[in-house]
Amino acid sequence: MALHLRRPTARRTARRAVLALAGALGILLASVPASAAPGDPSTAAEAAELVAARGHDLEALTEEFNEAREVLRSQRAAAEAAQAELDRATAALAEAQQSVRGVARSAWTGEGLTGFEALMISDSADEFVTRMSTLQHVAGHQGELLARAADASAAAAEAQARVQASVAEAQRQYDAVAAQQRDLQAQIAEYQAMHDRLSAAEQQAVAAAAAESHSARASRAERTEPLAAAAGPVVANGAAAQIAVDTAMAQRGKPYVWAAEGPGSFDCSGLTLYAFRAAGIKLPHSSRMQSQMGQPVSRGNLQPGDLVFFYSPVSHVGIYIGGGQMVHAPTSGDVVKVAPVDALGGYAGARRIAA
């Protein structure tokens, strides 16, 4: 089973981009005097852009990490199934070998019926033919059983070897992605330390710039697709979709945490996994893998409960709730909340998982 992660060259490019951001951030903060004015637009805007870029980098990497973990789980399950099949085949082989040894022992000790004995004790030619046919059938059956069990054992052993090799490769890639995640988290921690060294006024300017940027995107979304006037009850077209929406909406206010799937915190695909699991629908903990499930839905036919995806390759997911809005777990430092579908930019499509 192949593990569909980004090509190494893409990961190296992402790593270089992250390092470039870290360098740019260091230069920016080093050049900002302690007396910088709270409303300085250039420092605040640039810092806000860096925060957003770094958060998205980590989210995308976390989704890679989640996918690697999902594939690893499935490969381990396949390995366990192969081992169970091998155990059954080995038991069948042992039973067949014991049966054949019993036949051979009977023939050697005289306990079994030989062809000569069958001839001597038969009262007629028909009886002799019947006895010989029985002997041949038993021998043929034992040989067939042994061959079939041996073939099954060999096939199961081969399958187990293939799965073990696949699991080893999945583990290698999982470890590589986990290492990247730790590296990026360390860089963000370094950024946070630098951010904490800013004055309170400078930190307020960064927060204000980020809020202004989000508000501008939301305003553009309102112009392209009218939003619901109020966050009233969301009505889906089916029971499962309704449960998923209600479950996701009930998580509002809970923090975004990388690779979390509830109940106290979530990342984007962890929230959708949690919501649909409440409806009895199993989703993988990966936005890209979720984007390949269900049925595609056009933007104009979106219904509450549809999954909406973002960026290329897909690295973010939310649940549509109608009126041009979605509920999602945005990024680190934020909480599960309702937002315009167009607030993020990079809309990549939608899938209908439940009616």
Q: How do residues 115-141 score in pLDDT, each as one tens digit?
A: 544 445 545 555 545 655 665 555 665
Q: Which of 56, 214, 285, 316 is catalytic?
A: 316
The CA distance from 352 to 263, in Å, is: 24
The rounded Cα 316 to chain-centroid distance in angstroms is: 13
pLDDT given at position 91: 80
Are 351 and 298 in contact by the 8 Å Cβ rule? The answer is: no
- What pLDDT score was predicted for residue 172? 84
Q: What percent of the chain has pLDDT over 90?
A: 29
Residue 285 annotated in active site? no
Q: Is residue 137 flagged as an active site residue?
A: no
pLDDT digits (tens, 9 = 90+) for 47-72: 656 666 677 787 888 888 888 888 88
Say if residues 294 and 348 touch (Cβ distance below 8 Å): no
Residue where the block lists tokens 């023939």: 107
Contact (Cβ atoms closer than 8 angstroms) between residue 148 and residue 35: no
Q: From residue 332, how far is each of 145, 192, 196 by CA, in Å?
A: 61, 12, 16
Q: Which pair of tokens denotes residue 301?
A: 């036919």
Comparing 133-142, 154-163, 210-219, 250-259, the range with the smallest average pLDDT is: 210-219
Point out the catalytic residue in the list 56, 214, 285, 328. Answer: 328
Q: Among the options 56, 214, 268, 285, which is catalytic?
A: 268
Who has greater pLDDT, 29 or 188?
A: 188
Q: What is the average per-residue pLDDT within 165-194?
A: 80
Active site residue 195: no
